[in-house]
């Protein structure tokens, strides 16, 4: 589902965005919109699957977001608006949602879109044979029906605060998936949706191509083609950008701050900067005995200098994270327990847990075994790799032997994350506007392929998450989520590292980009290149 994914390239980003570089002086924002041209985007990871119900990575979600549509979505101000649904009604008790669907929508293969597709998608999500991490909110539905081709209705037994936005999930084509094993469907490599772009080709390890849907119900997109080039190394990607072989990518902090400040670069590209709706964390596999003692996890938090990561890795282009919600948003609790950089306190906690250097070799040990583990992270994300290197050094200073292993993205997910085959890992989460974090933190979500892959279990957290999602009053929800954050701060199943700034760059010939609380990608179908500046004619 588009709204809850691993964070690499984010479509829903935070408020406070601003343009960092002026546009070309003579380009003229009033240049007439024109159809045509191609945008070539750099992606560090290859998609895992283009069936949205099965996708849990950002590379897949970026593409699915252009190929498929949901009933609703977030607008530029992060307010809910209709997409496939023209309107909806909510019953007085908040338990029944009735969606009135658009009548002018067709699948990319020409078949008409109807409420039967929505009902099928619901049934797909709750089918126990569907290997999805996102079933939970749809399992709350006690009745779903499609009374006519343009009406879809669902009823809940209890209120669900995120019920409406949960129908922002991509709707899947019934006529192509019904009666099939979804995990083996050819749509995983050749999707058919109702969105603004149609699938053209996918060359593994190289590129994925989309083409504008001329029958898109909101109007044909201006940009004719979108090409995702898969370039795992950010330095190589930046060279390709400078050479004119890419039009868009996410800059690293050093690229943003030190390598793009020339007159030539400013003439050719526009940079943007805003706090990302994401955070990066060091997560511990709580099934490993060494991490089951809370004092060890607290000690690790004290041994890591998070401000050092913000200053050294992000070059100040971000802020320290204290929990799973973005600072400045209503759900964030700024009063949780903090863990300042304090190696002496870290050693005290480790000694309390039985870890001491008993043989004088410089490494802490317990019962004859050294305190040693491996941190995994994904290839192509310079921030995570550099953070891992700094953390490795800091932990070695207090006698912890840490190895760092960097793995290609698809293998990282399939062989390690989804199977729970890791000691610790550095990853990131997107922070959706609604704070319902049930899928990541509830103890029922610890099975292989689900999102609580560290194995965190806490009865009070389970109760708070259940109450938070059932409460419609925001002030009451905040009390539940404030307490939830207090427990996470105490338990430290993650060491929350930082909230980075998003640093996208786009070739200056593209117009119509309007930074907003939702970032820059929310109106992608209205980006355009004036006819006289178009580079590609397919």
> What residues pair up with 280 in beta bridges, in sequence order?
428, 498
CATH number of 69-188: 3.90.76.10
Q: Is 463 helix (H, G, I), strand (E, B) or coil?
A: helix
Q: How confident is the model at residue 16 (pLDDT cuts 50, 70, 90)?
A: very low
**Residue boundaries of the structural domains of the chain:** 13-50+195-275+508-538, 69-188, 278-501
Whether the full predicted model's pTM is greater than 0.75, yes or no, is: yes
Q: Would you say residue 348 has pLDDT above 80? A: yes
Residue 42 — pLDDT band, cuts 50, 70, 90?
A: very high
Is the predicted pLDDT of residue 24 greater than 50, yes or no?
no
What is the per-residue pLDDT for 13?
32
How many angstroms separate the CA atoms of 469 and 480, rounded?
Answer: 9
The single residue listed with the structure tokens 């938090």 is 301
List, for residues 294-336, the tens digit of each pLDDT value.
Answer: 999 999 999 999 999 999 999 999 999 999 999 989 999 999 9
b vs e for 77-110, b when ≥16 Cβ sit within 10 Å of the residue's Cβ? ebebebbbbeebeeeeeebebbbbbbeebebbee
In the predicted structure, residue 195 carries a pLDDT above the cut 60: yes
Q: Report the relative pairing of strands 207-212 and 424-430 from DSSP bridges.
A: unpaired
* pLDDT band per the 50, 70, 90 thresholds, residue 15: very low
Give 200: exposed, middle or buried? Use CB within 10 Å, 0-12, 13-18, 19+: middle
pLDDT > 70? residue 3: no
Q: Which CATH class is domain 13-50+195-275+508-538?
A: alpha beta
CATH number of 278-501: 3.10.105.10
| Residue 30 confidence (pLDDT) | 59
- On whether the CB atoms of residues 406 and 379 are closer than 8 A, the answer is yes
Which of 188, 71, 36 is CA-nearest to residue 528?
Answer: 36
Query: Is the pLDDT at 10 greater than 70, yes or no?
Result: no
> What local confidence, expressed as pLDDT, does residue 4 receive?
34
DSSP string spanning 483-509? HHHHHHHHH-SEEEEEEEEE-EEEETT
DSSP letters spanning 331-377 = T--TTS------HHHHHHHHHHTT-B-SSSSSS-EETTEE-EEEEEE
Residue 371 scores a pLDDT above 70: yes
pLDDT tens for each residue of 116-172? 999 999 999 999 999 998 899 999 999 999 999 999 999 999 999 999 999 999 999
Is the pLDDT reported for residue 452 higher than 70? Answer: yes
Residue 121 token pair:
């998608």
Q: pLDDT tens digits for 464-500?
A: 999 999 999 999 999 999 999 999 999 999 999 999 9
C-alpha torsion angle, residues 126, 129, 134, 135 (rounded to 10): 20
For residues 251-261, one letter each, b for 16 or more C-beta atoms within 10 angstroms of the residue's C-beta and e for the rest, the string is bbbbbbbeebe
Q: What is the mean pLDDT of the chain?
A: 92
Token digits for 521? 């990608």
Q: What is the model's pLDDT at position 537?
A: 79
pLDDT band at 6 (very low <50, low <70, confident <90, very high): very low
């Amino acid at each position: 589902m588009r709204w809850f994914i691993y964070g690499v390239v984010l479509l829903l980003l935070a408020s406070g965005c601003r343009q960092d570089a002026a546009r070309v002086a003579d380009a003229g924002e009033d240049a007439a919109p024109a159809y045509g041209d191609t945008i070539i985007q750099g992606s560090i990871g290859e998609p895992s699957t283009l069936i949205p119900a099965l996708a849990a990575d950002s590379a897949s979600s970026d593409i699915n977001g252009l190929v498929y549509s949901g009933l609703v979505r977030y607008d530029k101000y992060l307010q809910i608006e209709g997409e496939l649904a023209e309107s909806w009604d909510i019953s007085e008790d908040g338990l029944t949602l009735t969606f009135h669907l658009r009548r002018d929508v067709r699948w990319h293969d020409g078949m008409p879109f109807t409420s039967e597709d929505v009902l099928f998608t619901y049934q797909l999500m709750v089918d126990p044979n569907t290997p999805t991490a996102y079933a939970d909110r749809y399992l709350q539905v006690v009745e779903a029906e499609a009374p006519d081709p343009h009406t879809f209705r669902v009823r809940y037994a209890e209120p669900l605060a995120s019920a409406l936005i949960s129908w922002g999930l991509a709707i899947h084509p019934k006529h192509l998936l019904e009666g099939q094993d979804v995990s083996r469907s050819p749509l995983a490599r050749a999707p058919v949706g109702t969105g603004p772009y149609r699938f053209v080709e996918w060359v593994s390890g190289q590129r994925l191509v989309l083409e504008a849907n001329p029958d898109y119900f909101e109007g044909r997109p201006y940009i004719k083609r979108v090409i995702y080039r898969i370039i795992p190394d950010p330095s190589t990607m930046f060279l390709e950008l400078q050479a004119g072989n890419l039009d868009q990518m996410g800059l690293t902090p050093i690229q943003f701050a030190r390598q793009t400040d020339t007159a030539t670069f400013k003439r050719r590209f526009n940079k943007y900067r805003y706090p990302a709706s994401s955070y990066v964390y060091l997560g511990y596999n709580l099934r490993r005995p060494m991490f089951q003692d809370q004092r060890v996890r607290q000690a690790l938090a004290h041994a890591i200098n998070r401000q050092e990561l913000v200053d050294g890795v992000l070059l100040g282009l971000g802020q320290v994270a204290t929990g799973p919600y973005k600072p400045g948003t209503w759900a964030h609790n700024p009063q949780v327990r903090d863990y300042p950089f304090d190696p002496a306190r870290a050693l005290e906690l480790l000694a309390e847990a039985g870890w001491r250097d008993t043989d004088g070799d410089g490494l802490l040990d317990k019962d004859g075994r050294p305190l040693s583990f491996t941190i995994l992270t994904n290839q192509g994300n310079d921030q995570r790799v550099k953070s891992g290197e700094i953390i490795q050094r800091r932990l070695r200073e207090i006698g912890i032997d840490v190895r760092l292993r960097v793995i290609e993205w698809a293998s990282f997910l399939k062989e390690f994350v989804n199977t729970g085959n890791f000691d610790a890992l550095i990853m990131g989460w997107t922070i959706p506007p609604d704070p319902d974090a049930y899928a990541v933190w509830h103890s029922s979500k610890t099975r292989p392929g689900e999102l609580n892959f560290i194995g965190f279990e806490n009865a009070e957290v389970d109760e708070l998450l259940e109450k938070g999602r059932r409460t419609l009053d925001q002030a009451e929800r905040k009390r539940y989520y404030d307490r939830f954050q207090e427990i996470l701060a105490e338990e430290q199943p993650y060491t929350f590292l930082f909230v980075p700034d998003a640093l996208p760059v786009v070739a200056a010939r593209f117009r119509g980009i309007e930074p907003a609380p939702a970032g820059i990608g929310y109106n992608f179908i209205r980006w355009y290149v004036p006819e006289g500046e178009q580079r590609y004619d397919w």
